[in-house]
Structure 1
Amino acid sequence: MPPSSLIAHYPASWYAATRTHGEAWPVLKGRQQADVAIVGGGFAGLHLARQLVARGRRVVVLERQRVGWGASGRNGGFVSAGFAESSAALLQQLGPAAARALFAHSQAGVRLVESTIDELQRPDLLMGRGQLTCCRTAQGPAFAEQVTALAQALGARFEPWSAAQVQSVLATPRYHQAVHDPDSFQIHPLNFALALAADIARRSGQVFEGSAVQSIHRQGGLWTARTAKGSVEAPELVLAGNADLGPLHGGLSCSVLPVATYVAVTEPLGPALRECVRWPGAITDTRRACDYFRVVDGDRLLWGGRITTDTREPRGLRRLMRRHILAVFPQLRAHGEVKIAFAWPGIMGYAVHKMPFIGQLEPGLWMSSAYGGHGVGQTAAGAILLANAITEGDDEWRRYQAFPLRWAGGPLGRAATQAAYWWMQARDLWDEARTPPAAALQRL
């Protein structure tokens, strides 16, 4: 395939610095026809395209920038079941059967990511296994029983860890008990996105970069997606963008709230890091505004957090991320300055109800969006549902009609959400300051 004349550089990040050589896909020029056109070259679009080309469909993927340019190539790399909305909340809202069915969808997405890595013969994409979700407040003697009950309700393999178990692998007084998810794992997300795109092309799918879709319309049973230099006609069109779809579909675009988070990777920390973190998988916590981290390159710390609706990169981002790290592992100061080698923002798409938009907008027009920071695994789950719907007429996707499009409030919605995050952070601080245990499992 000829190289693109575009080609924009990936935003500076540890992932971009360690990415494998990927194809530079061409800009769409002229008129194309397909069975399915997909808008968005992140995980939502790539997983679906790969599912469809495997079933013999002619597929065209249209990416505004580069494959994996947005949240798909900038996240923490955690692959786990569940949604932005807590499982405990879904059990209360929907009842045991419906909540368990949704959780099973998310588990299928996790399995698909792992099986895809096996099929691609890319074991290098796997970077760790297991996830600890740590409690920042003591949970009391009923914690283990509560974890077991939640696991049984969801069909999960969650395991309760005592404070002693947690402290044996994480040298910090910040954490008490934890929930261990042995089915979670971690990947290099940008390299995974690049591998998916290459596999789609090998299977005769088409991937175009630098091809922002400017408009869509339907005529005579065909959807047309127009870019600056070309168009694609297809009976099925999928909007698989994140928080940057623009005006392609007003109802969807106005329902996705852009929320920023930040990730940093330190310079090599040597033995000092191994004294703090002796866990090969991922770590997060149960606060409403949580931190998440893992070890990469043997002795670097990848750290994420600082959720905000202000999508501009803050001044002094490296200093801010260093402060978060040292708040949990202050002993790192004794080994010299903790230097941040990379720090970057990522924009997540959230819905007001914190559940993804998966389903049909109009005849032949589909959506897969708003995964709320849980898209590494859940976009794969959405791809399974939409591929089954498009190729087999399966209607399992209708379970997500319980979470319809809902206006996110525009600028006022962003301000309200930011205020809500500040309130959540204040409540997190209050929970940690008080003596009674906080109900951390309500946020799992």
Structure 2
Amino acid sequence: MLKVPEGEPRPGTRDVRAALGLDETGRSAGHRLRRFVPWAVAILAIAGGAGAYLFWGGGGERVVYTTEPVHRGALTVKVSATGSVQPTNQVDVSSELSGTVRSVNVDYNSPVRAGDVLAELDTDKLAATVENNRAKLKVAEASVAEAAATVAEKQAMLARAKSLSDRQVTSRQEYESAKAAADRAEAALESARAQIDVARAELTISEANLAKAKIVSPIGGVVLTRSVDPGATVAASLQAPVLFTIAEDLKEMELQVDVDEADVGQLAVGQKATFTVDAYPERTFPADIRTIRYAPETVQGVVTYKAVLNVDNADLLLRPGMTATADIVVEEVPDALLVPNAALRYAPPQTADQGSSRTFLQRLMPMPSFRAPARPDSTTGSERTVWVLRDGAPAAVPVSVGATDGRETEITKGALEPAERVIVDSANQG
């Protein structure tokens, strides 16, 4: 306990706090200092960063441009399509008759001429049918002869009956009976003659069936497929079965390709093309368009049109059914001023100088780079803008574009010269 000498006044509470270095709330000056230090450090850090930012130029980013040269050259516009190589004329050979195959005279790849016998069915039943119908014809012919004799007899009897009736030797009734008999004889003769026609028709049919037992080639060419063997049974009930496939002269073939509906408007008969097949990937084969079919083909919502191209296969390298990829030339520009298509899609980004008007705090905050929306590829006759570097900065050059092959586009009008470089891309660095 603090003792106060006698005769001295007792100190008050304020005096005691002052002697101990305490403020009115009981906190020391050291405690206030400790609270101030973190704020001082933060302020110094911000001030240092701002000074560095101002000293080193504000921390702006540098734009690096990628350019490619403008040049003159030949431009070839092509339409690509896939399809298959096929014979110009291909025939499926069937049998109209049912029966057992007696012999097969050809095999795969066999050369044949029109009329050659490819196979033959068993003819025993067919030959018997022919003989039976021949006999029926003879019977019908005999019936006609018999009916003709009967007619002659009845006509004679009618003449006698008429003579006797006229002289009233016999009654009128006897004459009429003789006349009816003669009429019946005439009708029997006509019926017999009709039976001859029936017999002849049946004989003709049976002889035709016998001839059809020999399956012959309708055209000259090469046997592509054979689907029958000796001893096999052929059933030609509702649909004639295909026994052989014959391809006419394989030295002249055709390429059938499916052209997208977006490209078919560029095609025309006579246009040149080249194509490749997997069997000879390093070789290209020439072709030209013979016809473009109007009938659409739709597969899973995709519409295509069939184009048929003439193919010379004199060396017989190409085989029916080979898959081919064709490039059809739809336009050629022998001397065009060309720019990359990427240059037509390019638009310059926003540069660092464009942010110089921002406030101090805004300049301290990072700003994401900005690029104007890309533009679509050029189309023939459209007006476009390309960008070139002039004095280190992008400069817009209005141009008119022509044909394009998907990689480069023809410039038909504009202040561009060969070897001048156009901007195709840019990136921020810094």
TM-score range, shorter chain: under 0.3
**TM-score computed with the length of structure 2 as normaliser:** 0.17
Query: Relative to total residues, which structure has the larger strand share, 1 or 2?
Result: 2
**TM-score computed with the length of structure 1 as normaliser:** 0.16
Query: Relative to total residues, which structure has the larger helix share, 1 or 2?
Result: 1
